[in-house]
Amino acid sequence: MTLFPLDDSDDFRPTAPEGPSVRVRLTVAYDGSGFHGFAATPGVRTVAGVLGDALTRVVGAAVTLSCAGRTDKGVHGRGQVVSFDVPASFDDLARLQRSVNSMCAPAVVVRDAAFVGDDFDARHSAVSRSYRYTVVNTPVPDPLLAGRVWWVDDDLDLAAMRLGCDPLIGEHDFTSLCRVPRGVASFTMVRRVLDARWVDLGDGLLRFDITSTSFCQQMVRSIVGLLVDVGRGRARAGDVAAILRARDRSLVRTVAPPDGLVLWEVGYPG
């Protein structure tokens, strides 16, 4: 059931909150296959656009979202965190969650909602982000997993892929494994990876888990593509460190598709 209209034909005109406000934190899950990424972009359907529109209608005032990470087109989310301010008179988070889910589910779902202090910001307060990527390594694809995994039918050497994770741990310049941001005059590709590992789930399912203080664009998909090439024998585990040191994007031939990638969790102090 839709509680509020979502098109632009009604007379709803939000106004910015006036007077005292309180801050809300949401944990959001979404199926990214129908969106052009998370960040609001004029003219295209994005997760933040749909979520922000629904929240504005529920709250009755314009909502500006801060998010923990801007996922690319087609990438999914399970633990995306957003924060925003609402008028202090708004106190029913249960209704907010229920109403937003009624409007946006199953593509976008609010998993939980809480009031937080004014010093909390979903993006700037975060100390880590964790992503998961799933590969199905079988001779025949599974149609029930379509849109959630990357099907690779080549034989993969999991031991070599695991060895390729070691050079990623720590602080490095990831220029070789990131897309250069557009329209940004100065930037750094230096990131600190806290953990990176492959997990064998059985039945041909391989899961890559990575946690970093932050990520740059296409970093996880490029890492997965490189490590899968190591598993295929197209590169060696020992090449990963040299590719990092080279700071040359052309050395990474394969970028994993977005289907298998999920923003899994965001870490905060305490």
Identify whether 209 is a catalytic site residue.
no
Q: Which amino acid is at 202?
A: G
Q: 202: alpha, beta or left, given left = phi > 0 and alpha = psi -120 to 50?
A: left
Contact 194, 203 (CB under 8 A): no
Of 7, 53, 72, 248, catalytic? 72
Query: Which residues carry out catalysis?
Result: 72
